[in-house]
């Protein structure tokens, strides 16, 4: 049965690649290099170091890089990739960087390549290394801003891959505000496990295999088969997890060429996109179109809509608030709730559904999705994009969905009539919290608290059988916030262990940490104030009654006011986990989750 299925998938991918290639050509042809005598000077920024005789030493350094006399008068494009070889999401980005440079030089510009750092969420998940993940977003932004500012590049093309990469590069573009665009590294293809009846699997399958193994649902042989074959090659995690959520949101905002978020990592379409980026960045320079011209409030509205339509990651709340902050727009958690209230959830995509981004690509990709939403009047197509045209204009040439596709539901038959992202407040979260409520886990959960001050303590309790089937339990994992973690680590290991152990109907999980885009279940994160700051989540005790109501958007602790006052008086925050180094600095600077966890002060 496997061979016909693989052949069918290959045929779908081939047709999709041809269709996407034609679409990219139709869009990028308007951005091809046609030098005009009346063209404006494109090297306005780099001229600061390439033109004055007083900057002769700067020019001497540039000559050493191979630049020609003629090249000193050309615009310089900083091509930044989040490349490192130790992660499938990022290991191919240097190859893409070389393709982008080729396209930049064909467009008559100078391409200077540089790199920034990254942290693999999948590798660091469930360890103390996860504390560095969210922080890496701001370090990426800081480092690109630093190079762009110090080197006087006229424009930027950034090539991210893993979750925090996308918001990091976008925050840098917003701060620097020179002509810029993003080329997403693309998604991985599904894996396949023989012990799972040759079913498609992915990284979340590997996380859930642990819970299945410790409860005896699968054997060690099956567990190893899953982890050995979950990730077959290059590309970001394939479901509508954080990487694909952010790439899709950024595409609808207009900061990528059409199709960037759905073009697979190893596809011809991705290479064509890289080559087309050079002509596109030249057009942005000629027309002086900057990130703040594209990333408007309308663009963020479109992004929030698409996140809800696709069942995207709750991390989008943090990241879109932070990106908006970088361009001077105040986006709030209440904006997300307002969009969620009027936007249905339509996409049958993992983690809550069954399909992955590769499947969406095979039916037309993100351009087909956005064309569908534009026709339905759900998104606004009037915003400017990096093609130099409006979103609506870009989508004129986009393919339509096949009539028989079942990945994106019609508006008449939504998975859920309103969005899955819910903002909850109450006595446990007076400053807000974020729930991912797709509907399949229910809308209300009432249970007794079991408290853990570290995710490792919870995993040990689960292994020891302390979490029982049939008992309604609210697991509280705290001191994992932006300051307390520090770094607000993701709770994919605990949430996957709960689901893998078959406890999805018996356990809700609340935390001042975050959840991976791959998490699913009854989950509430981003609780503000966090425990380290004296938030009520730090006052919960085992056996307390906790109420989670997604319909009334309430997260409450049922403890009397006198008892709560006594606990508050007795509360003493633990000392910081780090007193030196990058995490110590992060804990001092970072804002709370409701303000995007920015480190340069929210607007």
For residue 403, the Cα-to-chain-centroid distance in whole angstroms is 30
Q: What percent of the chain lies above the pLDDT cut of 90?
A: 88
Rg (CA), the chain: 24
Q: What's the pTM?
A: 0.94
Is the separation of the CB atoms in 310 and 291 below 8 Å? no
Domains and CATH numbers, the chain: 2-189+233-395 (no CATH), 191-229 (no CATH), 421-574 (3.50.30.80)
Cα–Cα distance between 188 and 207 in angstroms, integer? 17
Q: What is the pLDDT of residue 13?
A: 67
Q: What is the pLDDT of residue 28?
A: 62
Segment 146-175 shows an average pLDDT of 99
Reduce the DSSP state of residue 376 to 3 states and report it.
coil
Strand extents, DSSP E, 443-563: 444-452, 473-477, 507-511, 522-528, 545-549, 554-558
What separation in angstroms does the CA of 591 have from each of 146, 280, 461?
A: 21, 35, 32
pLDDT band per the 50, 70, 90 thresholds, residue 7: low
Q: What is the pLDDT of residue 1?
A: 46
Q: What is the pLDDT of residue 8?
A: 63
pLDDT band per the 50, 70, 90 thresholds, residue 36: low
Is the separation of the CB atoms in 129 and 123 below 8 Å? yes
Q: What is the pLDDT of residue 177?
A: 99
**Beta carbons within 8 Å of 541's beta carbon, 6+ residues apart:** 449, 451, 567
Q: What does pLDDT average to over the chain? A: 94
Could you read off the pLDDT of 203-247 as tens digits, one per residue? 999 998 998 998 899 999 999 999 999 999 999 999 999 999 999
Q: What percent of the chain lies above the pLDDT cut of 70?
A: 95
Of 35-39, 71-75, 297-301, the poorest mean pLDDT is in 35-39
Could you read off the pLDDT of 316-327 as tens digits, one per residue? 999 999 999 999
Segment 106-132 shows an average pLDDT of 97
Give the residue from 31, 21, 62, 14 showing the smallest Cα distance to 388: 31
Cα–Cα distance between 529 and 592 in angstroms, integer? 7
**Beta carbons within 8 Å of 186's beta carbon, 6+ residues apart:** 161, 235, 236, 263, 264, 265, 266, 267, 270
pLDDT band per the 50, 70, 90 thresholds, residue 361: very high
CB atoms within 10 A of CB 448: 13
Q: What is the pLDDT of residue 309?
A: 99
Retrieve residue 488's tokens.
């607000």
**pLDDT of 37 over the 60 cut:** no
Segment 555-580 shows an average pLDDT of 96
**Beta carbons within 8 Å of 413's beta carbon, 6+ residues apart:** none
Is the separation of the CB atoms in 295 and 306 below 8 Å? no
Cα–Cα distance between 491 and 455 in angstroms, integer? 8
What separation in angstroms does the CA of 432 have from each of 552, 592, 601?
A: 13, 10, 19
Cα–Cα distance between 515 and 121 in angstroms, integer? 11
Query: What is the four-CA torsion angle of 370, 553, 426, 538, rounded to 10 degrees?
Result: -60
Cα–Cα distance between 260 and 367 in angstroms, integer? 9
Q: Which sign, positive or negative, has the C-alpha torsion 52, 53, 55, 61?
A: positive
Cα–Cα distance between 427 and 40 in angstroms, integer? 58
Cα–Cα distance between 273 and 263 in angstroms, integer? 9
Could you read off the pLDDT of 479-505 as tens digits, one per residue? 999 999 999 999 989 998 899 889 999
pLDDT band per the 50, 70, 90 thresholds, residue 10: low
Q: What is the pLDDT of residue 38?
A: 63
Could you read off the pLDDT of 391-425 as tens digits, one per residue? 999 999 999 999 999 999 999 999 999 999 999 99
31 HSE (CA, 13 A, CB side): 30
Is the separation of the CB atoms in 112 and 98 below 8 Å? no
* Residue 425 parent element (H or E): strand 421-426
What separation in angstroms does the CA of 341 have from each of 5, 99, 301, 418, 435?
A: 39, 42, 13, 5, 13
Residues belonging to the active site: 516
Is the separation of the CB atoms in 220 and 300 below 8 Å? no
Is the separation of the CB atoms in 500 and 493 below 8 Å? no
Q: What is the pLDDT of residue 19?
A: 72
Of 38-47, 259-268, 521-530, 578-587, the poorest mean pLDDT is in 38-47
Cite the DSSP H helix spans in 353-446. 357-362, 365-375, 391-395
Q: What is the pLDDT of residue 30?
A: 43
């Amino acid at each position: 049965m496997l061979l016909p299925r693989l052949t069918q998938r290959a045929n779908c991918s081939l047709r999709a690649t041809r269709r996407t290639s034609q679409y990219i050509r139709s869009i990028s042809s308007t951005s091809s290099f046609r030098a005009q005598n009346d063209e404006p000077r494109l090297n306005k920024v780099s001229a600061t170091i390439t033109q004055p005789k007083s900057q002769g030493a700067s020019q001497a350094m540039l000559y050493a890089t191979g630049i020609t006399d003629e090249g000193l008068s050309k615009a310089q494009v900083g091509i930044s990739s989040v490349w490192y070889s130790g992660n499938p999401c990022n290991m191919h980005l240097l190859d893409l960087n070389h393709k982008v440079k080729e396209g930049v030089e064909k467009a008559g510009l100078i391409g200077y390549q540089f790199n920034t750092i990254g942290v693999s969420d999948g590798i660091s998940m469930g360890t103390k290394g996860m504390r560095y993940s969210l922080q890496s977003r701001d370090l990426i932004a800081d480092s690109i801003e630093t190079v762009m500012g110090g080197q006087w590049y006229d424009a930027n093309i950034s090539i991210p891959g893993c979750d925090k990469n996308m918001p990091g590069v976008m925050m840098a573009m917003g701060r620097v505000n020179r002509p810029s665009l993003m080329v997403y590294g693309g998604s991985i293809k599904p894996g396949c496990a023989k012990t799972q009846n040759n079913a498609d699997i992915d990284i979340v399958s590997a996380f859930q295999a642990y819970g299945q193994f410790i409860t005896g649902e699968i054997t060690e042989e099956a567990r190893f088969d899953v982890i050995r074959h979950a990730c077959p090659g290059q590309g970001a995690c394939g479901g509508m997890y954080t990487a694909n959520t952010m790439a899709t949101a950024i595409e609808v905002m207009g900061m990528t060429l059409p199709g960037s978020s759905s073009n697979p990592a190893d596809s011809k379409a991705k290479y064509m996109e890289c080559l087309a980026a050079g002509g596109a960045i030249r057009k942005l320079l000629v027309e002086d179109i900057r990130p703040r011209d594209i990333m408007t409030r309308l663009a963020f509205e479109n992004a929030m809509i698409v996140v809800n339509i696709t069942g995207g990651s709750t991390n989008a709340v943090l990241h879109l608030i932070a990106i908006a902050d970088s361009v001077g727009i105040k986006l709030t958690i209440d904006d997300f709730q307002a969009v969620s209230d009027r936007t249905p959830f339509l996409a049958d995509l993992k983690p809550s559904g069954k399909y992955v981004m590769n499947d969406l690509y095979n039916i037309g990709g993100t351009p087909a999705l956005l064309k569908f939403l534009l026709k339905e009047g759900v998104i606004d197509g009037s915003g400017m994009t990096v093609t130099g045209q409006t979103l609506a204009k870009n989508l004129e040439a986009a393919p339509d969905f096949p009539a028989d596709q079942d990945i994106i539901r019609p508006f008449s038959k939504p998975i859920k009539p309103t969005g899955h992202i819910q903002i909850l407040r109450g006595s446990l979260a007076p400053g807000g919290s974020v729930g991912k409520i797709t509907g399949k886990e229910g809308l209300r959960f009432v249970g007794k608290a079991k408290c853990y001050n570290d995710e490792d303590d919870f995993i040990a309790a689960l292994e020891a059988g302390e979490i029982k089937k049939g008992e309604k339990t609210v697991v509280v994992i705290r001191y994992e916030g932006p300051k307390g973690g520090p770094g607000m680590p993701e709770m994919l290991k605990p949430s996957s262990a709960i689901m893998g152990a078959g406890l999805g109907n018996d356990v809700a999980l609340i935390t001042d940490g975050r959840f991976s885009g791959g998490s699913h279940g009854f989950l509430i994160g981003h609780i503000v104030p966090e425990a380290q700051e004296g938030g009520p989540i730090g006052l919960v005790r085992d056996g307390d009654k906790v109420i989670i109501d997604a319909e009334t958007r309430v997260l409450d602790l049922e403890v009397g006011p006198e008892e709560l006052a006594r606990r508050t008086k007795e509360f003493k925050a633990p000392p910081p986990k780090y007193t030196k180094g990058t995490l110590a600095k992060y804990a001092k600077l970072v804002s709370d989750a409701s303000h995007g966890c920015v480190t340069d002060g929210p607007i």
